[in-house]
Amino acid sequence: MKTEYDIIIRPVLTEKSYATIADKKYVFVVDKTSNKTEIKNAVEKIFGVKVASVNTLRTDGKIKRQGRTQGRTPEVKKAYVTLKKDSKPIEFFEGMAQ
């Protein structure tokens, strides 16, 4: 059984994600096997907010070379979470939005 903290791995902190914080849109790296309903319930339980929608994106790992050897970077699943208008913002991101 996965807990909420197993589903939400970490937030994505980039310039593009900072720009969407003012619109109550947040980006998280999530477990590859989790679905939108599990992500929604995990965000609501961890942060105490109301989620309007969840969009997910899965990226394959890129092939990287170092001389003759090659390998792959890990594949990642991201969740774009939009909060409802009447919901409070997530406190973790409060000081980051400008």
Residues of the chain with pLDDT under 50: none
C-alpha span between 12 and 9 (Å, rounded): 10
Kindly report each contact of residues 67-72 with a partner whose C-beta sits within 8 Å and lies 24 or more positions away, as own/partner: none
Number of domains in the chain: 1
Is residue 34 in some structural domain? Answer: yes
Counting beta carbons within 10 angstroms of the beta carbon of residue 82, is it exposed (0 to 12), middle (13 to 18) or buried (19 or more)? middle
pLDDT of 54-78, one tens digit each? 999 999 999 999 999 999 999 999 9
Any domain includes 90: no
Residue 53 belongs to domain spanning: 4-84
pLDDT at 61: 93
pLDDT for the residue 98: 57
Domain-embedded: residue 73: yes
pLDDT score recorded for residue 94: 76
Q: Which of 74, 78, 93 is nearest to 29 (CA)?
A: 78
Q: Looking at residue 48, which CATH number applies to its domain?
A: 3.30.70.330
Residue 97, in any domain of the structure: no
**pLDDT value at residue 9:** 95
